[in-house]
Amino acid sequence: MTSRVVLVADPLPATALEGLGPGFEVRHCDGADRVRLLAAVAEADALLVRSATTVDAEVLAAAPRLAVVGRAGVGVDNIDVAAATAAGVVVVNAPAANVVSAAELTCGLLLAAARDIQAAGRELKSGVWRRGTHVGTELAGKTLGIVGLGRIGLAVARRMTAFDMTVLGHDPYATPETADQHGLKLVPLEELLSRSDFITVHVPRTPDTVGLIGEAELRLVKPTAYLANVARGGIVDEAALHTALRESRLAGAALDVFEDEPCTDSPLLGLDNVTVTPHLGASTREAQERAATDVVRALLRTLGGESVPEALNAPRSARG
Ligand SMILES: NC(=O)c1ccc[n+]([C@@H]2O[C@H](COP(=O)([O-])OP(=O)(O)OC[C@H]3O[C@@H](n4cnc5c(N)ncnc54)[C@H](O)[C@@H]3O)[C@@H](O)[C@H]2O)c1
Ligand SMILES: O=C(O)CC[C@@H](O)C(=O)O
């Protein structure tokens, strides 16, 4: 039997790829190199990506044998799912694999923003010992507003409750039972924005959520509030956020994601009260291992006829 080709276009742990077994030939390419990607995908039966590779209609058209695209992570906004479906290509992801990692980074960014950790550290490493300009704010007794109460939003709620925060949530699909279980109060978005001292966004990027937090919404926020985005760039409008921060209508922001990635020249990077990381929400050994294993398992199930090795059948995804 000829091997089926699995093209891996973003870095994934080799141990998880071994789970594919002998029926597959694993090939690698840099998905950011468009020319190489289009050439390599021509012979692929399956394509595995993280967030850096864009799988659009052009890539799908260049891949006549492609049966499945596996996204080793949650968000599938880098994949044209409609075009894939029209082409008969199944898209699978690893929805639970990096919940803990993304939630932990969010909590870290909220703390970092509240205490100016990134700017103070940068200053000290440049030889400046200055304490007076880094007076922060406590989280205890403050209100955290969570926009999007899915896996990550709720995992953040559970963790930040331990910091004695009051939690508000907004999610059109959340039930009162979920809110009760997590000790949070469901409120409309406008109320969440105007009452929260810290706001964190955990919705997928879709046509409905792009610009969800824009100029009008940022005008509702307290000038002492901090805003975190570990979901996707563009959900918080970057130009509106920059203006709000410059006009001191917001105390600070913490961003892991950007409208255009890789992002090295956003004006937001020049503001002292912006804490940033380069899309590291899922970048832990545990999350990467789980995401790759989960997506390999989903790929094997989708291709059918392949028995899933015992080692891959064990539940890997951690509870958030
Ligand atoms: N920074 C990172 O590395 C990283 C890591 C993992 C996930 N993410 C991003 O985080 C997003 C959320 O992940 P998740 O696992 O919690 O997804 P999820 O699907 O479990 O939850 C998303 C929630 O958003 C809600 N929602 C949708 N539209 C909304 C709206 N207009 N207003 C309020 N709520 C709305 C949904 O009802 C759902 O409860 C992913 O789509 C992904 O883009 C980023
Ligand atoms: O691949 C990554 O590292 C990012 C993944 C993350 O954004 C996700 O949506 O799962």
pLDDT reported for residue 175:
98
Q: Which atom of ligand 2 is nearest to the CA of 74?
A: 10
What is the CA(202)–ligand 1 centre distance, in A? 4
How far is 88 from 69, CA to CA, in rounded Å?
11
Q: Is 279 a catalytic residue?
A: yes
Distance 74 CA to ligand 2 centre (A): 6
Contact 299, 49 (CB under 8 A): no
Side-chain-facing half-sphere of 36: CA atoms under 13 Å: 12
Residues with CB under 6 A from ligand 1: 73-75, 98-99, 102, 147-153, 170-173, 202-205, 208-209, 212, 230-232, 256-257, 279, 281-282
Q: 265 CA to middle of ligand 1, Å? A: 26
Per-residue pLDDT band for 306 (boundaries 50, 70, 90) equals: low
Calpha distance 129→60 (Å, rounded)? 54
**The pLDDT of residue 132 is above 60:** yes
Pocket of ligand 2 from Cβ distances under 6 Å: 50-51, 73-75, 98, 279, 281-283
Percent of the residues in the chain that have a pLDDT greater than 70, as a whole number: 95
Concatenate the DSSP letters of all residues of 73-111 into one string: SS--TTB-HHHHHHTT-EEEE-TTTTHHHHHHHHHHHHH
Residue 241 has pLDDT above 70, yes or no: yes
Tens digits of per-residue pLDDT, 254-267? 999 999 999 999 99
pLDDT band at 309 (very low <50, low <70, confident <90, very high): low
Q: Is the pLDDT of residue 41 over 90?
A: yes
Ligand closest to CA 95: 1
C-beta of residue 57 within 8 angstroms of C-beta of residue 15: no
Q: Which residue in the list 232, 290, 297, 316 is annotated as catalytic?
A: 232
Question: How many CB atoms are closer than 10 A to CB 300?
Answer: 23
What per-residue confidence (pLDDT) applies to 301?
93
Q: What pLDDT is recorded for position 186?
A: 98
- How high is the pLDDT of residue 305? 55
**Quick one: pLDDT at residue 319?**
54
> ipTM greater than 0.90, yes or no?
yes
Q: Tell how far the Cα of 177 is from the centroid of ligand 1, in angstroms.
A: 19
Q: Which ligand is nearest to the CA of 171?
A: 1
Nearest ligand 1 atom to alpha carbon 320: 15
Decide which of 317 and 58 is more confident: 58
Of 43, 261, 286, 289, the active-site residue reads: 261
pLDDT of residue 304: 78
Q: What is the pLDDT of residues 54-85, one digit of tens each?
A: 999 999 999 999 999 999 999 999 999 999 99
How confident is the prediction for the chain on average, in pLDDT? 95
Q: Which ligand is nearest to the CA of 211?
A: 1
Residue 87 has pLDDT above 80, yes or no: yes
Q: Return the pLDDT at 2.
A: 79
pLDDT tens digits, 208-228:
999 999 999 999 999 999 999
**What region does 144 belong to: left with phi over 0, alpha with psi -120 to 50, or beta?**
beta
Instruction: Report the nearest atom of ligand 2 relative to the CA of 283.
Output: 3
149 Cα to the center of ligand 1, angstroms: 8
Q: Taking the model in full, what pTM does it have? A: 0.95
pLDDT in tens, 154-168: 999 999 999 999 999
Query: Which of 50, 205, 279, 316 is flagged as catalytic?
Result: 279
pLDDT in tens, 186-197: 999 999 999 999
Could you tell me what percent of the chain has a pLDDT over 90?
Answer: 93
Ligand 2 atom nearest to 282, measured from its CA: 3
The answer to whether 261 is a known catalytic residue is yes
